[in-house]
Every structure is written in structure tokens, then in C-alpha cells.
Structure 1
């Protein structure tokens, strides 16, 4: 009813601003530029000097930009400031439309009324109608026999009605004899309703969620929103679970500028159920979890913050601290579940979290500065091993405090033909129960690009890498040690570029360009004694050869009609193929019978319409078999049908083979009825991972969704009705 209450600002005439809808603070008739005059046209326009009135009759139009008032008759009294309009009164502005039989508007008092009025709001497709729609004060409105719907037509599928509605903007409204109706039949009735009528954010209860599941029992989630000020707000959650207890949640959000914002979320549950290895606790374990969960105090704290800093620096903070390895699996859905949290942070911050089943969670504070050819990243990083922490084992958590990277992109060396780039890093890493290490690494690289008669490109390069360690408490010794390693590496890239352009004349395509890029890369790292160093750089003597082919279409842009300018063309890479293999010279010298590495291949096909496919694979000729391969395909049509299929095969060894398939189908049975399903199966375990089957029926102004989900031995049925413009409600169990 809030939307109903805030749209009844009526016409204030062709002087300053016209009819304010007040919906989200917008005006139906807004005088965006007072210097632009209103244009008035009519079949007859006269002035009554005695009455001091303008009289316009016959197809009266009053216009300014995209704002229009139309009526058959308009009388405006300059002395009283009252305008009377009658006969097919119609006001249009910014896509919103107000119609009625007749209207009376007091331009001085900014009040007025329209009879048999109907207001259409384009943004959310709302129709609000009433026998009499009045503006009775500066921010007060009265509607008699009001009806609200988002359905088109004279006989809408659903409506909300009230015998009388009184509204004060930024205050409250009342509805007498409120009724929700389906095809005119009353379904719910309340004799009197008080509701907030605020266009700004306001403190109050948000819609609850109800549900039932085997693991949680009956569920009820009630959010409470707190509008703290213009730049910050908070939401509190009470999540009741009959089998598990009360889970409390909190979110705090603030935005100071576009690049300075933050969100903090925290949930806590004193769980009635644990997984401590006893027979009665087996139902609270998860299938792929080999670690126990004996804690009942469960929580998840997560936070992201973006902060603009002086001198063009920027800072980012990511925190992700969870009580146990099962929490994010247990609470994957819902208001504060992992799925909703991930979507929110990816949308608002451009980055999410580690996957819900990862036992190691990354926390970091990053300080960043980017120049035209250089970048600086300074970071404090903490790898939190949830299982080790929860099991009380020795703390092997790895901290980087700090990690600093200074890199330079490839760029010329003064006026010479040489180029260089730079990778450098300093980090201080430690474990609470282990060594503490300072590590500095600098790795410049010099290039000499050469062209051989425009047929071949050859680019030799050399890198020199210097690494220094300062190690405290090295192994069992109490002595500190300083280690130093210098190593070089060589690389040479030889490639050519072949292309041919074909004329085409189909589907708007004018030409097709096929490119072929053969490449040979030789890389060499010498064998250096590194037994005393905490990390190794493996020796390398590798020859890698590859061939890449692409197909690119050239077509006129959709809004173009001629070929006068090159800018009107669209270019689309619709096919890409690549084959690559490496030959290990060190293995050949060591009499290894298998010096050839597996052949890698990939193909991508995306014509732009109806389907796309991407496949990659590794094949070893020594076993005459695949090591791994995957295929991902999308198919769709103009009706809206969609099919996604993904198949993965991975072989770690002859005994260890993992194969899975995942499908996602959306099928329009009719224009209004659709069926959807997803299915994931693990061939190694010979078991279904998850499956969903559902049906959705969409009318013009409402929809109904029924589905069944079977995932990890938890079966759920869901039923949801959505009234467009008002939201949805339903149940799941």
C-alpha cells in the first residue's frame, strides 16, 4: 500500500511545476526549465476580461518537452488561480499518464482534485484509480474508492481496494475497508490499515520468510531495517529454527562516495545439534566432510570495504571468518546465506568470497596505486584454515604481513630497440608455530623484438632473478639465517601471422577473416643447487610449439545503413582453435622415454545466436588416452528456451578418475507456462549431486512458481506467488 499512498499530487497548472507523482521523489509534471515557455493550442482560445479568465476549447494541448496536458475544455482564472479542465482530461510526463473526466486545480494553494481519475506509473507499471483523487494540503492526499493494480485491462486479475485512503507524504496513511481481490472477488479483508507513506528510506520491519526443512525444522526469518542516516543503514535478522535454535544476524552498510563504501555482516547461532562422531550426531554431518564439528557456537563474519586514499591510492579490505567447515554449507540459502551474500558483494564490490566448501579462507588488506606503466600493491594477507583452527590442531595459518609488489609493464629502454619489464616482491611470512621469513625478490627482463622481412617475428629475452631470504628460527635451530640466490632464464619466441579475407553475404556478414598464428617458444632455466633454500625454481629446457586459428566476421552495425565509415562495422570472433604441445629436452637428455608433454587443445565457437560451445582437453600419446577434457555448451532460441550442458573428465592416475555432468534447462511450454530443471551427477561416486524440477506460470501482472529440489539428502518443495509491483510470498518445505 505504500506505493498507492505516494502518487496523488495533482496538476498545479502551466506556471511553475505541474502534477508531482512523488513516487521516488519524481514529479509527473516537472518544470525542468522555467525559461522554456508552455505551448498552448486549441481550436478556440479567448480571454474574458471581466472574469479575468482564459478559455480554451476543442482539443486543448498544453505542452513543454515531453510533458502534455490534453482536455476538451480548459478555463483558467488569473485572479483566483483556479484552472478547470474537463472532457477526456489526460496528463502525460516521462511515460506516466493521469486520466479523468474533469479536474479542478488551485494553483495558488497547490491543491486540486480530479474525478474518475486513473494514474499509470510507467516505471513499475502501476495503475491507481479512484472516484475522486484530491490533494488537500501541501503533502496531504485523499482518494475515495481507490483501486491499485499492475494488471492491464478493465477486469484485472488482482486489485487492492479501499473505500477511503488518506496519505501524508513523509508521514503515514490510512486505508478504510482494505481488500485484496482476485478477479473482483475479495480474498483478504482488513477494516483499517495504517501504513508509512515515505519516499525516503525508513526504519521498520521487512517482509518475513517462512519455510521448513529436515535439518532445520520449521523456519521463520524476520528482518528489521534501520535507516541510520543518508549515507548508512543496517538490517537485523531473527532466524528461528525449531530444530537448531535462534540465529541472529546483522548487516551494516555505508556509502560516502562512489569509491568509498563498505558492508559488514555477522551471524551467530548457538546450535542445538553438533557433529561429534557419536551415532546420534551422524544426521548433522555432511557427505563429503571428513572432519567433525563439535562446536555449538557458530558464526560467520564477513566484510568488504573500498576506500579512496590521498595521492591516488586506493584501499580494499576483505574479511571472511567462519566458525567451522560446515557453516556455509548448512546456511547456503536464505537472507543471510552464502548465495545471497556472494551475489551482493560481487554486484556492489566486484569481488566475492572463496567457495562455500573451501576450508581455507583468505582475508586481506590491500593498498594499491596504478601509474601509466607501473603499479604498486601492498597487502596484508591471512590464510585461515577453518578445520585446523576448529580441531585445535597446531596453528599452521600462514600470514603475509606485509606482501608488497612493484611491477612495471613492458616498455622501451630510452631510444634503444630494447624493451624491459619488471616483477618485484617483498613479503614477510610467518606461522605462529613455525618459521618467520623475510623474502625479497626482483626479476627484471629485457627483450629485443626483431622482424624478419615482415614474415617472421622473433623476440629473444633474458631475465635475471635475485631472491634474498632472512629466516628466523630456521627449522629446529635458534640461529637466524640469510640466504641469497641468483638465477637467470632465457626465452625466445618465434612466430608468424597468416591471414586471408573471404567475401561473404549472409546474415548481414560482409567479410570473414581467418588468421593462423604458428608459434615456437623456447624457455631455459639452468639447474642450480637449491637444497638449502626454502623454495625451488625447477630447471627447465622446454620447447613449446602451438598453432592458433581464429575466424572473425565483419558486418554492418545494426543502426548503420551505409558503408561510408569504418566505425559503423561490428567485428565478432566467432571461432577460435588452438593446439599446443611441449618437448622436454631435459627428459630427452636424461633418457626419459616420455619427453613429450600431453597435447593441449581448445575450441571456442560463438556465432552470436542460438548456441555457443567451449571445449578443452589434454591427451597423452604414451597412454593413448585423455588426461582430462571438458565441454560446456549453451543453446537458446528466440522463444526464450535455454539449455546448458557441462561435462568434465579428470584423471589423476589410472585408478583415480573423476567424471561429472551438469545440465540446466529452461523450456517455454507456452507463452505463459515454462518448465525448468537442473541436474548434476558424479560418475566416480555413482550418485546424484543435486536436481531441481520446477514450473512457472507468468501472467501479465503475476506469476506462480512451483519446484522440487533434492540436494545432499535434503528434499525441499517450494511454492511462490509473485504479484508484480508488490513482491512475492509463498512457502517451502
Structure 2
């Protein structure tokens, strides 16, 4: 019955269109039956439509289009067999079916089941941007294909930069293409046979071998890393690393990632090595170690990770960091490999917005932090473990460790606001509370409680704002193990300290606007043009006075900066100049959509300049005869005059600078300058100087042994020779008269692969790396 009805419908439409004889084109509705015995209608349009054998066969010629929903078939000629649902297509065949683009010389399809075959055909999958071509392509039920004499590539064009050539391949969308036996071809020339490989053809993440990395360094020899990626689900994955170094041995690693939201994510990685090299003698430390420290351990590892957790109540937050390492050399020795510090640092900064301790810091910090915020109150619970990686393995014993552990620490904060219950009074109240339990292997430890309330009175007038504050800081010590370090002068017997605090700050702004007559007209010819409409010059004078007095710090336990707080009496004044420009830019219109060109107003900072000066009344009274770190220092109550500048003359040029002038040395003692030039079509260049002079006369550097620092840093990226790109970094130490670091990268960006050559040179090691990225290729 269904077949008879279908024939009747087809005969009716074909006869109707034949009688009408519309010369501009003809159309019809074809009804096919799918695998569930349901009717599926295809709309047929062509320059000419005719019927044969009492409408059992329908032929269409000239710009033939068959359409059903979002799917369509196009060809120069089509013949439809009503009894079997099959359509034959020839001449410039194009097919869009199930979101796939297919093209061929000739093809046949069952319009109901959407199965068929193609001769000399090609399938393009937009999701993975991948082409599959073959002399014969069989489209199976669902999203499965079988290819004979197949070529597979992600490259556009008739002669791809690389491809895979195989006698037979099977493919399933949102699945895999499985190939048994193929040749890797470069520009259609076979270069490497592969007995078996898999291509993931999914838009979702899939498990498989990732791109191998390899390189060479003086310390490690030739190294190669092969990662395997395991997509556990859409929120979690793991990567297993197999890394071999010719001079050091095999170093496996594992990485785990999960992310269910921006507030709930985890990243952790661990690497382990049974090192073929150890440092048993200080004479070898220059080759395999640092700072004349030994490393007698062959068992080496690094575990690092971070976690952000969320609760049903979003005001609760939980964060965790882990950073444990076997020795002081681990991070620096393997930094050039995929297990290196730089890659891990970039990962946590991008994911969590916080960093690991610096690569050269032997102290590795792991912590747990739980926080809760209320409207006016906040609290935090912290546990922190600081590992001194320079202890053990042939160096000082762990029993001599003076590194402090904060286990636990509790902090509470009363945010600045009116006094609760007395909101009608203009006073503000802030308060900090901290209780820390300090522990360490050697040295005094115990509990410290720190309470600091501050009362303020903001005075706001039309001329500016002045805010005086007064408060007190009270510190109590509950010492459980009194063991003063040999570097301390006191006996750690004191059980409390009281500091009284007073401060006042002030701020105002004077501004003037300079306007210019607009002349820019919003026309299509002026699209993208800009014009200066005005400048605003703002002058912001500020001052801050801070006074702290109370009991001295002698005989107090020495844990951190809180225990070193002393008397303060300092005035700081600054003057800020800001130039802000107002511009108009013509936005392009769209005639087809009826959108006229228009003017858009833009605001941007042109210049920011600050002068800052301090006077330390306490320093003016200091006894010059008192030795500090076994040295005497002359009184210098006036701070260096600081000038800071940010200048943006053009959108592709900007300059930043900080300069410090000393009245006592009658010279500039510090420079920080950076100039950046950027042009999207050419590249980017930045150069800067970091300069420090007379550090031995600066109390902040007492005991460091530093005198001068003078470093020149340059960074270059050249994009004008695309697809070739050049990146370079050069850092020169003028004091040591040597290049501290040089790196050069040559990058070839192709539509279907990326080739990177990188060389890096430091006084510690030289490394050479090569990276080849072939999108979608999994062996």
C-alpha cells in the first residue's frame, strides 16, 4: 500500500510539472522510505525533469539539486529509481550529508537510508579539518565509510604537503579512521611506511599518542619524549610521558587534569628518574650541580600541581598547591625538556593565575588554603610546608633545617567600613587577626598571635580627600621550644610586643580638557580613519605619612617580617600627571543590511608620569656607628627621587621607564627602561635595560654582597616572511661581560603542519630542540 501511494504521489508531481513546462526550471517531490519504514521527502529541482517507465524512473538534467532538511545532493545529471529509493548522480557531484562534505565524479545513494558509493570521491570533515579521498568510497549505514586506494590529509590543495596513502581504510565519524598499512608521503613522494595507525576524526577529545618531542643538550645528550593522551571523559584526562635521555636514562612522567568549572579544577604532574649521573665531589658540581652543592642521589623526582575547589556556597573557596622535589638541581637540569619548569609554570599561571616558586629557589612551597567571605568579614585557614631541597643527598642533614613551616595559620579580616552599630558616625574600622603555629627542625618555634585594629576618619571635600588613621598592633608569643639561631643576637625570651600606629593620607586632582573641532565625516571612504577630538590633562598630588612606635624587637623570636617590624616615621609625596586622549573613528557600514557608516568615540591613555619622594625621620636619627651585617652605613633619610613614565605615542609603540636619582651619590643609581615596537604584519621587538648601581650603600641589600647589576634584555619576533617566523631572545650581563641567555627559534607555520627549530644557550647548558606538529595524526 505504501509503495502504491508513493508511486501515485510521484506520478502526480511529475505530470503536473511536465504539463506546466516551466522553462526557468522544474521541480518535484521524491518520497523515499528510511530504515524505519518511514516516508522521507526530498525536494528535486533542475533545469529539466522527465519521467520514464510510468514514473518508475525520473531523470533530471542541469544544476540538479536534491534537498532534504540540511542535507543536499548536487550534480549535472541525476536518475532516480522510485522502486528502490536509489539515485544515480554524475558530473560535478557534491554531497552534504550528516555535516560532511563529499565530492565525486559519479555516485549512487539510497535516499531513504542515506547509504551509497562514490567514484573518484573525496570526503571533507570540517571538525577535524581532514580530507579522505579514494577511487571508490562506500558510505555505509550511519556515519561509516570504506575507502579503496585512499589518501588522507589535513592539508588543503591538490598536492598536499603531507598525506597518508593506503590501499584500504575504514572511517567512522565521531570515532576513528583505522588504516592497516600505509605510506607517509611528502608532496606525494613516499618517505616512511607505517604498518598500522589510527586517526581520530572526532570533534571531541580522544585518546591516543601525541606528537613526540625531541632535542639535544650538553648535559642530557639526545632526548626524546613520547606522550600518550587518555581522554577519561569531557572533564578529565591524563597524559603519560615516556622520556629517554642518552646521558641520563629513562624518565617517565604522568599528568592529570580535570575541570568541571572555572572554580573547580585540578592539575598535577609527576616525573621520576633513576639518574645515571650523580655529584659526589664538589669538583663535579660545576658540571652537574649548582653552588658547590652535592647531589649523591640517583633517585630524582618532581611532583607539582594546583587545585581550585568550589562549594555549594560560592563564598567558600579552597585552594591547594603542591611542589616537592628530590634535590636543588632537578628543576634547572631538565628545564629544556617536556618535564621542565618553564612548561609547568606556564600551565599553572594560565589555569590558576598563580605561580610556583622561582626555578632558582631551593625552597619549594606546598600549601592548603580555605577561605570564607561575609559582607564585612573574611577568614582564611592555611597550612604551609616549605621544603628545603638543598638539604640531604650529601649536603647538610635535614635535622639542621631552619626552614619555617606554618602549620596551621588562621587569618581573619574586618573590611574597611563604618563601625557596626554606629554607622551614623563617619569613622571607619578595619582589623586584622592572625594566629600562626610555627615549626622547624632547628631553631625556636611556637605560636604567635597578631591583632591590629585601625580607626579612620575620611574627610571628603570638593578640594580633595584626607584620611587620618590610628591603631595598634599587639603581638603575643607562646614559645614551645626556645632555640635561638646562631645568626640571632637575642635569646627569644620575649612574650609580647606592642606597636602604636598613626597615619594620614591625602589626595586631590586638578584637570583641564582641551577640545578640538571635529572634521572627520562618517563615510564609507573614511572607514577606519581616526581623528583627535580632545586631550584631558589631570594632575594628582598625593601624600602619605606613616608613624609607628612602641617596644623594640630585641629578644623576640624571629619568624618572619612581623617580628622585624620596628619604629617608622616616614613621609612620602608624589605628583602624577595623566594625559588622556579622546578620538573618533569611522566604523564601516553595510549597504546590504542598511547600516550606515558611523563615528565611534575612543578613549586611551597617552602618557602617565609620576614623581615620588620620601623622607625617613627614623633614618635621620639612626646611629651610624651601629654595624648592620658587619658593615656601617651613612644615614640617608632622603629616598632616591623616583620618576616613572608610561608613554603610548602610537598604537604600535609604547615606552615604560623608571629612574632613581640619589642626592647622596649625585647620580642615577637605577634604570628600568623598556621600549616596544609592534606591527601585526611585520612582528614585534622590545628592548630594555635593568641597571642597579651602588647597591653596597643601600640598606635594603645589606649582606647580599651585591654592588652593581646591569642587564640588557632583547626580544624579537619577525612575522613579515610568513609562513616563516623568527623569534629571538638575547640577555647580556654587562657586569660579568657575558651573554646570560640566548635563544633562537625558526618557526614554519603551514596550513597543515608546524615545524619549529629552537636553540638555547646559557652558561649552564646548551640545548637544541626540533618540534614537528601534524594536526590530527595519531600512531
Normalised-by-shorter TM-score class: 0.7 to 0.9
Which residue, 558, 571, 579 being the options, matches 2:611?
579
Distance across 1 between alignment mates of 2:62 and 2:313: 65
Residue 629 of structure 2 corresponds to none
- Unaligned stretches of 5+ residues in structure 2: 1-28, 35-40, 485-489, 519-528, 558-562, 591-595, 624-633, 698-705
Higher mean alpha-carbon deviation, 141-150 vs 97-106, is at 97-106
Cα distance change of structure 1 residues 370 and 217 upon mapping to structure 2, 3 Å threshold = same
Secondary structure in 2 matching 1:545:
strand
Which residue, 442, 453, 457 being the options, matches 2:465?
457
Distance across 1 between alignment mates of 2:502 and 2:769: 60
Residue 674 of structure 2 corresponds to 632
Cα distance change of structure 1 residues 161 and 250 upon mapping to structure 2, 3 Å threshold = same
Cα distance change of structure 1 residues 72 and 421 upon mapping to structure 2, 3 Å threshold = farther
Matched length:
694
> Is 1:553 matched up with 2:596?
no
- Pairwise CA distance, 1:678: 1.7
Cα distance change of structure 1 residues 170 and 682 upon mapping to structure 2, 3 Å threshold = same
Which residue, 329, 353, 358 being the options, matches 1:355?
358
Residue 482 of structure 2 corresponds to 474
Higher relative contact order (CA 8 A, sep 6+): 2
Task: Kindly report which structure 2 residues correspond to 1:340-419, keeping only aligned pairs within 5 A, or say none.
Answer: 340-390=343-393, 391=395, 392-393=397-398, 394-413=400-419, 414-419=423-428
8 Å contact from structure 1 (residues 499, 516) kept in 2: no
- Pairwise CA distance, 1:426: 2.3
Secondary structure in 1 matching 2:347:
helix
Residue 33 of structure 1 corresponds to none
Residue 420 of structure 1 corresponds to 429
8 Å contact from structure 2 (residues 683, 720) kept in 1: no
For residues 163-197 of structure 1, give each alpha carbon's deviation from its aligned partner in whole angstroms, at most 9, with x where no partner exists.
Answer: 3222356776554662233333322345x535365
> Is 1:676 matched up with 2:727?
yes
Distance across 1 between alignment mates of 2:48 and 2:278: 84
- Pairwise CA distance, 1:338: 1.4
Which residue, 504, 510, 523 being the options, matches 2:546?
523
Residue 219 of structure 1 corresponds to 223
- Pairwise CA distance, 1:486: 5.0
Secondary structure in 2 matching 1:546:
strand
8 Å contact from structure 2 (residues 417, 428) kept in 1: yes
- Pairwise CA distance, 1:75: 6.0
Decide which structure has the larger Cα Rg and report it: 2
- Pairwise CA distance, 1:321: 0.6
Cα distance change of structure 1 residues 213 and 458 upon mapping to structure 2, 3 Å threshold = closer
For residues 495-532 of structure 1, give each alpha carbon's deviation from its aligned partner in whole angstroms, at most 9, with x where no partner exists.
Answer: 33333244376834433222110112222223544435
Residue 761 of structure 2 corresponds to 710
- Pairwise CA distance, 1:80: 4.0
Distance across 1 between alignment mates of 2:622 and 2:184: 83
TM-score normalised per structure 1:
0.83
8 Å contact from structure 2 (residues 216, 769) kept in 1: no
Cα distance change of structure 1 residues 649 and 67 upon mapping to structure 2, 3 Å threshold = farther
RMSD over aligned Cα atoms = 4.0
Secondary structure in 2 matching 1:340:
helix
- Pairwise CA distance, 1:581: 0.2
Which residue, 247, 271, 274 being the options, matches 1:270?
274
- Pairwise CA distance, 1:428: 1.8
Residue 498 of structure 1 corresponds to 511
Distance across 1 between alignment mates of 2:777 and 2:495: 68
8 Å contact from structure 1 (residues 470, 480) kept in 2: no
Distance across 1 between alignment mates of 2:685 and 2:247: 38
Distance across 1 between alignment mates of 2:477 and 2:772: 63
Higher mean alpha-carbon deviation, 644-653 vs 269-278, is at 269-278
Which residue, 502, 520, 535 being the options, matches 1:489?
502
Distance across 1 between alignment mates of 2:410 and 2:656: 37
Cα distance change of structure 1 residues 303 and 132 upon mapping to structure 2, 3 Å threshold = same
> Is 1:334 matched up with 2:385?
no
- Pairwise CA distance, 1:73: 5.1
Secondary structure in 1 matching 2:313:
helix
8 Å contact from structure 2 (residues 474, 496) kept in 1: no
Cα distance change of structure 1 residues 582 and 645 upon mapping to structure 2, 3 Å threshold = same
Distance across 1 between alignment mates of 2:178 and 2:99: 28
For residues 334-353 of structure 1, give each alpha carbon's deviation from its aligned partner in whole angstroms, at most 9, with x where no partner exists.
Answer: 22221222222223333331
Cα distance change of structure 1 residues 462 and 572 upon mapping to structure 2, 3 Å threshold = same
- Pairwise CA distance, 1:389: 5.0
> Is 1:543 matched up with 2:571?
yes
8 Å contact from structure 1 (residues 665, 677) kept in 2: yes
- Pairwise CA distance, 1:458: 2.1
- Unaligned stretches of 5+ residues in structure 1: 1-12, 19-36, 729-733
- Pairwise CA distance, 1:537: 2.7
For residues 609-651 of structure 1, give each alpha carbon's deviation from its aligned partner in whole angstroms, at most 9, with x where no partner exists.
Answer: 2222211122211111233221122212232322121211123
For residues 28-76 of structure 1, give each alpha carbon's deviation from its aligned partner in whole angstroms, at most 9, with x where no partner exists.
Answer: xxxxxxxxx9987655678999547887654455679987654445666
Distance across 1 between alignment mates of 2:278 and 2:680: 50
Residue 307 of structure 2 corresponds to 305
Distance across 2 between alignment mates of 1:531 and 1:479: 8
8 Å contact from structure 1 (residues 649, 659) kept in 2: yes
Cα distance change of structure 1 residues 509 and 38 upon mapping to structure 2, 3 Å threshold = farther
